[in-house]
Structures are given as structure tokens and as C-alpha cells.
């Protein structure tokens, strides 16, 4: 099974459940490997720009293509357990984890999120399950969670989510201009009685933020993939 860094970034992804490094006891522990080099990162970023400019749904991204396209992805999935980032290690987490990909992804002179803002605004990370075969394998991405959202999100109570199929709320996360994945909105609360009815309006997976097309790990649209409304995040029925 492929080891990755604690993934708060667009490119720190694994097709199967990954081991997570958790900052504890005042030390930031980071597992090695998994990040592509700067050239590979830029190729993926540019593929997202290409998607927007060549999309058959150009009306949805027309304004963006007239200026500079802001590439990014939307991730729809169920949150796992809450992994706190203690205040005492947030600066180290920012430098060793967040900036690892931000330096490769961003095009401007400075990151969108500064160290001070990160230490103030982000208090945890969580796994986001985008697909699964219960008890066998699951596809997960790691996403940052804002301090303001920590008590509002219904995280999984189980550490063994793969085998118990125990997940939390269905959410949408998005990448910012640094390439970091941030949990953005609760779509359906796992604790609600109508969860299944609510969740039926969405489909889990990775989607181009500009076009709504489902994308693969190469950021190219999947053949026969789903499409979502990039405003409501609801799946658009295939005609």
C-alpha cells in the first residue's frame, strides 16, 4: 500500500486507504514519499486549465476563459475521523506539509494562506472517502478542516472506517490556489433520518471545479464519468 504525506494538498492522494501521519506529543510526524516533482504538479494544474478552455459546457466557464482560469477540484465524499492539529504544532505542520505542495502548485509570489492565518484558522484534517468497497478497499483524500467548522461537522466515531464502513457527514471539499484541499460544506448529515434521500442527489468522486466533470488522477475528464452542478454540487442526470 502506497505511503503518502499527511495529505492536505491536491496531489497527496492515494487510490486506496493510506496510513495517516498525525502530529502528537508536540512533534509533527510525517511519512515519506508520494509527492510528484514540480514539473508533474504543473502538468496536472495545466490539465485543469485545458479542461475549462475546451469544455463542451463552455457557458459554465465562459467568464473564466475570458481571463485567467483558476484551476481546481471539488471532492465529494464522507468524512472520517477528526484528526486534530494542536496549536503548538500548526506552524510546523504548515511549513512541512502545507507548503510542500503549495510551493509547487501556486503561480504567484506568495501562498494564499500565510503561516499566521493557517495557525489561526485550521485546526484539524480528516479523510474524505470518495469511493469504497466495504470491508475491502476505499479511495480517500485528506482535507483540512477550519476551526470554525470543527464542532459542526459530524465526523466518524470509528478509527476503523474501512472495515466497519463507518463514515460521517457527506461533504464537499475544494482546493484553494495553493492546491490545498479544504472541507467547504456539509451536504448531508449522516445522523439525519433522511440521509439516504439527501445523499441520492449527489455522487461521490473528484470533479473539475470549473466544468463539473468527473476527473481521474491525471485531471483529465473520465470517459462516461458523472457531471455535477458546480454551484449546488448535485449530480446532473445523463441525457
Residue 105 has pLDDT above 50, yes or no: yes
Rounded (10°) CA dihedral 166, 236, 176, 190: -20
pLDDT in tens, 29-53: 333 344 567 788 888 888 998 988 8
Largest separation between any pair of C-alpha atoms in the chain = 54
Report the chain's mean pLDDT, rounded to a whole number: 80
| End-to-end C-alpha distance for the chain, whole angstroms | 38
Question: Does residue 94 fall inside a structural domain?
Answer: yes
Closest CA to 75 of 171, 188, 199, 216: 171
Domain count, the chain: 1
Cα 82–chain centre separation: 15
Question: Does residue 215 fall inside a structural domain?
Answer: no
Question: Does residue 73 fall inside a structural domain?
Answer: yes
Range in 54-68, 98-112, 217-231 the model is least confident about = 54-68
Question: Does residue 29 fall inside a structural domain?
Answer: no
Q: What is the pTM of this model?
A: 0.81
Question: Does residue 33 fall inside a structural domain?
Answer: no
Question: Does residue 148 fall inside a structural domain?
Answer: yes
- Cβ(122)–Cβ(68) under 8 Å? no
Residue 64 has pLDDT above 80, yes or no: no
Question: Does residue 18 fall inside a structural domain?
Answer: no
> Domain of 143?
38-208
pLDDT in tens, 109-146: 899 999 999 999 999 999 999 987 777 777 888 999 99
Question: Does residue 68 fall inside a structural domain?
Answer: yes
Amino acid at each position: 500500500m502506497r505511503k503518502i504525506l499527511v495529505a492536505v494538498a491536491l496531489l497527496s492522494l492515494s487510490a486506496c486507504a493510506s496510513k495517516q501521519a498525525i502530529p502528537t506529543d508536540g512533534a509533527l510526524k510525517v511519512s515519506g514519499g508520494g509527492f510528484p516533482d514540480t514539473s508533474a504538479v504543473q502538468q496536472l494544474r495545466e490539465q485543469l486549465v485545458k479542461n475549462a478552455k475546451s469544455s463542451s459546457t463552455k457557458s459554465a466557464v465562459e467568464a473564466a476563459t475570458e481571463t485567467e482560469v483558476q484551476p481546481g477540484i471539488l471532492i465529494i465524499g464522507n468524512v472520517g475521523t477528526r484528526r486534530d492539529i494542536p496549536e503548538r504544532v500548526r506552524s510546523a505542520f504548515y511549513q512541512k506539509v502545507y507548503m510542500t505542495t503549495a510551493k509547487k502548485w501556486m503561480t504567484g509570489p506568495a501562498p494564499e494562506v500565510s503561516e499566521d492565518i493557517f495557525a489561526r484558522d485550521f485546526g484539524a484534517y480528516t479523510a474524505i472517502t470518495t469511493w469504497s468497497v466495504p470491508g475491502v478497499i476505499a479511495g480517500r483524500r485528506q482535507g483540512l478542516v477550519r476551526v470554525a467548522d470543527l464542532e459542526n461537522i459530524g465526523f466518524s466515531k470509528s478509527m476503523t472506517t474501512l472495515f466497519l464502513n463507518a463514515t460521517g457527514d457527506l461533504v464537499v471539499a475544494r482546493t484553494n490556489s495553493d492546491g490545498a484541499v479544504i472541507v467547504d460544506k456539509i451536504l448531508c448529515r449522516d445522523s439525519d433520518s433522511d440521509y439516504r434521500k439527501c445523499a441520492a442527489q449527489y455522487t461521490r468522486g473528484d470533479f473539475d471545479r470549473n466544468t463539473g466533470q468527473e476527473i481521474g488522477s491525471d485531471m483529465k475528464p473520465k470517459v462516461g464519468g458523472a457531471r455535477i452542478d458546480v454551484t449546488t454540487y448535485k449530480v446532473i442526470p445523463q441525457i
